[in-house]
Amino acid sequence: MLRLGRAAALVRSLSAQGLPGGLGAFPRRPASGGRGKEVLLHAHGEAGGGIAEILMNRPHARNSLGKVLVEELYETLDVLRFDDSVRVVIVRSNVEGVFCAGADLKERAQMSDSETDHFVQRLRNLMDNIAALPMPTIAAIEGYALGGGLELALACDLRVAASSAKMGLIETTRGLFPGAGGTQRLPRCIGVSLAKELIFTGRQIDGEKAFSIGLVNHSVPQNEKGDAAYQRALALAKEIVPRAPIAVKMGKVAINRGMEVDIASGMAIERMCYAQNIPTRDRREGMDAFLEKRLPKFIGK
């Protein structure tokens, strides 16, 4: 069982990023000495509207996770992590027909065994960094999300897919198995037996099937523009944005960390998170708005 003092220290360290005092408005793309072409960072609407969009932009390789794309994703996450103007992050593709095709096997084939091990560890850490972003994250899956592409989507809090999207941890068809979090996050998402079946067979499933087994939160028919999943993800993000940012972030910490421990320790984590929310101005604003019969105006403080 996690001791109360340890739980408090854990929550303080994990939630520090979610409290006010970030970097303010973020740039349209990460500063990287002229790079940034494979990952674009956009603010949605006027002043961002509280929504940031990470767009993978590697059309010649179907957004496969090569070295440059991975490093630029790291840079982008560094920009977002401490920015308290961002309330929701949408992860999507800037390439038609694909979310992310997984590992760049052409690059991987040129690596030694030790280089491969190091790079896969970088991928694993990247997925952990996505999962650790303090604000909610939504993956918008329009086309193929295979191997590492699905692992990236699993690292997000929520997933929306077009019904025609194709998803799968296909590594066993290439002599591999999921190594960037798939063996851990997929069972936690859909259950152990189903996760084993999908990983053992390397099977691909569409958006409707993914919804039926709980892999995605929503499955939507594709539209003529090919951005139905993005439009649904955007609507979901806009539903989250007006909510109290610190309360949402503390809820995320409580859920994520509580799922990793026994329920008594999870209750201790919830208590610590709640204690951090009590002195916020947003909590008082929520109470005042209720008493005054008006909509609250949360500022993230």
As annotated, the active-site residues are 103, 148, 151, 171
Let me know: does 183 contact 157? Beta carbons within 8 Å.
no
| Calpha distance 44→233 (Å, rounded) | 12
Within 10 angstroms of residue 225's Cβ, the number of other Cβ atoms is 10
| Calpha distance 84→239 (Å, rounded) | 18
Whose structure tokens read 């198995």? 177
Report the chain's C-alpha Rg in angstroms: 19
Residue 180 exposure: Cα atoms within 13 Å on the Cβ side: 30
